[in-house]
Structure 1
Amino acid sequence: MHDLLNVSLRSLAVYLFMFAGIRIFGKNQLSQLNAGDIVLLLLISNAVQNAMVGSNTSLEGGLMAALVLFGANFVVKKIIFKNPKIKSMIESDPVVLIKDGVVDNVAMKKEDIDFDELEEAVREHGVEKIEDVKLAVLEVDGNISVISMDKKSSGTNYSRHKRKYPRKSHRF
């Protein structure tokens, strides 16, 4: 039993470390993973596996580590949902990158987004020029949402890059 408690505590420590690391390195790193990012994630998972289970390579140790990770993630999500102050500490706020066709270079530099990346996101949303963007926002999940100006009417068109895997609905 002592060995499984050790696995639990080590897994929780690794989870918190990884959570902090992802928060420090920024949300724009999460939205689009390239080959190097995937390799890094695989290597990190392999590196921290031993830190979580230590010498316990049993089925029970692996299941306990997974259970603790699921549990920690569940608790963190509940805390974020119920406490806006903690949510703002853990998840950064959305950042406006373009407003009425004008690029906010200060925000882009702060979020480590280059102009080519911004132009690519705008084109992905079917907008030809940045001047035609009413609003572009770097969302909490790392995606860039774009609202384009509608030339035919005074309204705006909203377009958002669709995720490959849609979020789960929160039905109770």
Structure 2
Amino acid sequence: MWHDLMAVQIPIAEKILRTIAVYALILILFRLAGKRGLAGLNTFDMVVVFLLSNVVQNAIIGNDNSLLGGAIGAVTLVAVNSGVTRWLARDPRAARFLEGSATTVVKDGKLVPGALRDLALRPSELEHAIRVQNGDNVSGVARARLEPDGQLLVTLKAAEQSATRGDVEELRQRLESIERLLTELAADRRR
């Protein structure tokens, strides 16, 4: 029994190469699928992720069901992912190539023609993201863009943005000034 758990049934180099090849394939597939695939996992996306993991399992492990073989595959996946992540953090050109660039979907309160269609993004998803980020509708958005990591970043028009603490403090000071002026005017009238 212990021998079956620890005896790697295919060469370790093959297991590492299989894992790297499958990682690269999935990376390419997600890159081709586009940012929309990362934006928010709906039911269909979850089904694909679960099935995808099952489909590529044998490509990674081969004819090896050992505990050590699985550990080698897991360590390889984590190491490769860590290496790629660090590489992308240091090399903007590699990040642009592998992840893509941001896509503007709303500009000056209007949808960018074809952007939603190209990203396979539904208007309801865009509207939801706008509401989550304190907007009311597309017309109140200065700019919205889908980032390579799938996040939708919304910048509201200045008139649509919530008041900040600085805004409230400025208003408080202005009100105090008005109150002082009114008090002075009332005092002048009494004289």
Band the TM-score falls in, shorter-chain normalisation: 0.7 to 0.9
Percent identical: 30
Q: 1:67 aligns with which of 62, 67, 75?
A: 75
Question: Bigger CA drift: 1-10 or 123-132?
Answer: 1-10
1:19 equivalent in structure 2 = 27
Alignment size in residue pairs: 155
In the TM superposition, residue 126 of structure 1 has moved relative to its aligned partner by 2.4
Residue 114 of structure 2 aligns to a residue whose secondary structure is: helix
Separation (CA, whole Å) in 2 of partners of 1:85 and 1:36 = 32
Contact 2:134 2:162 in 1 (8 A): no
Residue 132 (str. 1) matches residue 122 (str. 2): no
Instruction: Extract unaligned runs of 5+ from structure 2.
Output: 1-7, 164-191
Q: How big is each residue's C-alpha offset from its partner over 1:50-77, in whole Å with a ceiling of 9 and x where there is no partner? A: 1111111101100000111111111111
Separation (CA, whole Å) in 1 of partners of 2:159 and 2:95 = 38
Give 4+ residue runs of structure 1 displaced > 4 Å after superposition.
Answer: none
Higher strand share: 1
Larger Cα Rg: Structure 1 or Structure 2? Answer: 2
In the TM superposition, residue 112 of structure 1 has moved relative to its aligned partner by 2.1
Separation (CA, whole Å) in 2 of partners of 1:129 and 1:83 = 37
Separation (CA, whole Å) in 2 of partners of 1:127 and 1:78 = 35
Separation (CA, whole Å) in 1 of partners of 2:16 and 2:64 = 11
2:52 equivalent in structure 1 = 44
1:33 equivalent in structure 2 = 41
Q: 1:151 aligns with which of 159, 167, 174?
A: 159
In the TM superposition, residue 6 of structure 1 has moved relative to its aligned partner by 1.2
1:168 equivalent in structure 2 = none
CA RMSD, Structure 1 to Structure 2 (Å): 2.0
Query: Structure 1 length as normaliser, TM-score?
Result: 0.82
Residue 8 (str. 1) matches residue 35 (str. 2): no
In the TM superposition, residue 88 of structure 1 has moved relative to its aligned partner by 0.9
